[in-house]
Amino acid sequence: MIKIQNLYKRYNNRDGREAPWVLKDINIAIPKGVSVGLVGRNGAGKSTLLRLIAGMDNPERGAVERHCRVSWPIGLSGGFQSSMTGRQNVKFVARVHGLGSNIQNIIDYVEDFAELGKAFDQPIKTYSSGMRSRLNFGLSLAFDFDVYLSDEATSVGDRAFKAKASKAFKDKVGQSSLIMVSHGEAILKELCQAGIYLKQGHATWYDDINEAIAAYHAETGKANSPLDDDD
């Protein structure tokens, strides 16, 4: 289970002035084994909430309690050492996670999954954002987590890689659960049971992902509006 209690988050302006809250007074318990889609307009705080759940960022107030093994957000390409190659980065992460005897298996899996070819042995600083995301995706799935976090991970790459990414998530369902940010309504309905709808800093839990998506459509006033509405 993941418990989010009295959570507030904002990013202050460079001149020191306090900015509006991105997230405010979030209180949600995500049950074990339930896959969840995060829904809301661009700027609603979906990626921010995902980073807070991962422990990559800290709230201004409140807390996130993780009673399970949670991945870093798949799809975010930060966190790599840019002067090291893809292979070296994977080896380093495997060592950090204490997988000394299985490092080669991890490297082989990521190399095959990311489909980077010779670029796997080139410095990360030479990668495009898509290449970094594919490396991150493969590296995340190479480890066994109870909950996988995904920030637009299934939108990376060409059609064949997107299909591969979707299948990888489906294979994880049953063994693990997902918390997903995606502009693809179909993938959310396919992989998630529940939903969290973010609006004006507040979060509402829905036991049915379809109800969360319906709440988004009600906000936009467009029954078939895409989930990346910017209005």
User: Does residue 228 fall inside a structural domain?
Assistant: no
We report the CATH number of the domain holding residue 111 as 3.40.50.300
Show the tokens assigned to 110: 């990521």
Show the tokens assigned to 140: 């995340």
Closest among 208, 223, 202 to 4, alpha carbons compared: 202
- CA dihedral (26, 28, 33, 39) positive or negative: negative
Q: Which 8-state DSSP code applies to residue 93? A: H
Q: Give pLDDT tens digits for 136-157.
A: 888 888 888 899 998 876 666 6
User: Does residue 225 fall inside a structural domain?
Assistant: no
User: Does residue 104 fall inside a structural domain?
Assistant: yes
> Residue 73 sits in which domain range?
2-220
User: Does residue 16 fall inside a structural domain?
Assistant: yes
User: Does residue 40 fall inside a structural domain?
Assistant: yes
Q: What is the pTM of this model?
A: 0.82
Give the DSSP per-residue string, 203-223: EEEESSHHHHHHHHHHHHT-T
State residue 230's pLDDT score.
Answer: 42
State residue 199's pLDDT score.
Answer: 95
Helix (H) or strand (E) run with residue 8 in it: strand 2-9
Reduce the DSSP state of residue 68 to 3 states and report it.
coil
The region that residue 136 occupies, defined by phi over 0 for left and psi between -120 and 50 for alpha, beta otherwise, is alpha
User: Does residue 231 fall inside a structural domain?
Assistant: no
User: Does residue 77 fall inside a structural domain?
Assistant: yes
Give the span between the Cα atoms of 75 and 49, in whole angstroms.
14
Show the tokens assigned to 225: 């509006």
Query: Could you say which residues of the chain have pLDDT below 50?
Result: 229-231
The number of distinct structural domains making up the chain is: 1
State residue 183's pLDDT score.
Answer: 84
Measured in whole angstroms, how far is the alpha carbon of residue 77 from the centre of its chain?
11
